[in-house]
């Protein structure tokens, strides 16, 4: 057993130095992902496993987004065949029921997060993305961040900015980053019918799931939408506690991110 006296300043300096080292490696990322739900964690894991410098920024203290609550707090989620593969990739146990597969929501969060971290993703919890960074021809080239606690307290504290070759909006139903880009860049239009973010449509699980991968696109130079944010941008339906589309959307977002990084390198 270690007999050195326990030093509070030592503990503090270990925390600060370790944080500063890791955070210092995020000044120029390949991919900044906003939101640690199923879509964001899946995209992050796949890209980091390929060697990209990837960070996920999550406003809350906990990762997992909408997975935890399962369906109406029953801690289970459901996928069909297509999404099953991605869950099995990270070791989530599934029980089969005639083409449907059921998983424990807590296990799903834990294994998605652990696999992402093992692949090399840096996850910053308690950090909100309040804006994007813009350069040449209004291309998105980074994120503007602040502590979630600062945001919640409504304090006037200037944020910090980090560069990224592309940004993935995986913020869920609100599509916060996509909405912000449209609001703040004069004349900005997305490749949707009316160029705006109309929001998701009422629940229709089959159509919502089917549309999601196709909706996972670069909607503005350097900005990809994934997960429910993609369905909100393209006015597709919500789908409740069926999650396969979220994992597949994360996988598609990783492919689109790769294309953007190659284009910009």
Binding span for ligand 48F by CB under 6 A among 13-21, 88-96, 99-107, 166-174: 166-174
Residue 71 and residue 100 in contact, taking contact as beta carbons nearer than 8 Å: no
Instruction: Name the 3-class secondary structure at 202.
Output: coil
- Work out which of 53, 55, 171, 217 binds ligand 48F, going by CB under 6 A: 171
Closer residue to ligand 48F in complex, CB, 140/228: 228
Strand partners, 223: 167, 220
The answer to the question of residue 188 lying near ligand 48F (CB under 6 A) is: no
Q: How many CB atoms are closer than 10 A to CB 125?
A: 14
Among 90, 188, 246, 256, binds ligand 48F (CB under 6 A): 246
Binding positions for ligand 48F, 119-148, rule CB under 6 A: 128-129
| Residue span 190-229 as binding mask against ligand 48F, x where in contact by CB under 6 A, dash where not | -------------------------------------xxx
Binding status of residue 58 toward ligand 48F by CB under 6 A: yes
Q: Which of 233, 225, 232, 218 is nearest to 250 (CA)?
A: 225
Q: Which of 107, 119, 12, 14 is nearest to 56 (CA)?
A: 119
36 binds ligand 48F per the rule CB under 6 A: yes
Cα→Cα distances 173→36, 46, 71, 73, 196, Å: 13, 23, 16, 18, 15
Least distance in Å: CB of 92 to ligand 48F?
15
Token digits for 33?
A: 């992902």
Name the minimum Å distance from CB 43 to ligand 48F: 9
The contact mask relative to ligand 48F for 86-115 (x = CB under 6 A, - = no) is ------------------------------
Q: Are 98 and 90 in contact, with CB atoms under 8 Å apart?
A: no
Rounded to a whole number of angstroms, the minimum distance from the CB of residue 64 to ligand 48F is 7
CA distances from 102 to 58, 75, 83 (A): 26, 10, 11
- List contacts with ligand 48F (CB under 6 A): 34-40, 57-60, 65-67, 128-129, 170-172, 176, 227-229, 238-240, 242-243, 246
């Amino acid at each position: 057993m270690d007999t050195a006296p326990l030093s509070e300043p030592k503990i503090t300096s270990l925390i600060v130095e370790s944080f500063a080292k890791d955070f210092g490696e995020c000044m120029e990322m390949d991919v900044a992902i906003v939101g640690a739900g199923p879509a964001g964690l899946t995209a992050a894991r796949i890209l980091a496993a390929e060697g990209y410098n990837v960070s996920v920024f999550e406003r809350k203290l906990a990762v997992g987004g909408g997975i935890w609550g399962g369906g109406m707090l029953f801690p289970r989620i459901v996928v069909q065949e297509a999404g099953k593969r991605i869950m099995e990739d990270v070791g989530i146990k599934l029980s089969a029921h005639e083409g449907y597969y059921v998983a424990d929501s807590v296990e799903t969060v834990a294994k998605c997060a652990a696999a992402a971290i093992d692949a090399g993703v840096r996850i910053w919890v308690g950090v909100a993305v309040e804006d994007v960074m813009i350069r040449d021809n209004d291309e998105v080239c980074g994120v503007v961040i602040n502590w979630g606690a600062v945001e919640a307290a409504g304090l006037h504290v200037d944020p910090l900015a980090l560069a990224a070759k592309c940004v993935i909006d995986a913020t869920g139903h609100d599509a916060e980053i996509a909405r912000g880009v449209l609001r703040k860049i004069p004349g900005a239009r997305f490749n949707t019918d009316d160029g705006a973010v109309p929001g998701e449509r009422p629940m229709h699980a089959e159509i919502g799931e089917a549309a999601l991968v196709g909706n996972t696109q670069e909607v503005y130079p350097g900005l990809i939408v994934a997960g429910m944010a993609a369905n909100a941008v393209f006015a597709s339906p919500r789908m409740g506690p069926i999650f396969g589309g979220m994992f597949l959307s994360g996988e598609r977002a990783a492919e689109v991110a790769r294309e953007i990084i190659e284009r910009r390198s």
